Amino acid sequence: MKVLTANRLSDGIAVWYADGGWAETVTRADIAHDKAAEDRLEAIGAAAAANNEVVDVN
């Protein structure tokens, strides 16, 4: 299982991808249970980084 985490560019706060946006608590994070879901989260993270929403996407 994996989740998508990053730091919000506006203030550096750690955030997790959840329900179509970024949450400040890991308990709300979307969980990838398989490779397809991991790939989806990675693509979301890459797009968010490219749009200068977040940095340090993992």
pLDDT in tens, 28-40: 999 999 999 999 9
Place of tokens 């997790």: 16
The residue-averaged pLDDT of 45-57 equals 96
Q: How confident is the model at residue 47 (pLDDT cuts 50, 70, 90)?
A: very high
- 15: alpha, beta or left? (left if phi > 0; alpha if psi -120 to 50): beta
Give the pLDDT of residue 12: 95
CA distances to 3, 8, 17, 28, 45 from 51, rounded to whole Å, are 20, 12, 15, 23, 10
Alpha helix segments (H runs only) across 1-58: 35-50
Give the pLDDT of residue 49: 97
Answer yes or no: are the C-beta atoms of 28 and 15 closer than 8 Å: no
Give the pLDDT of residue 14: 97
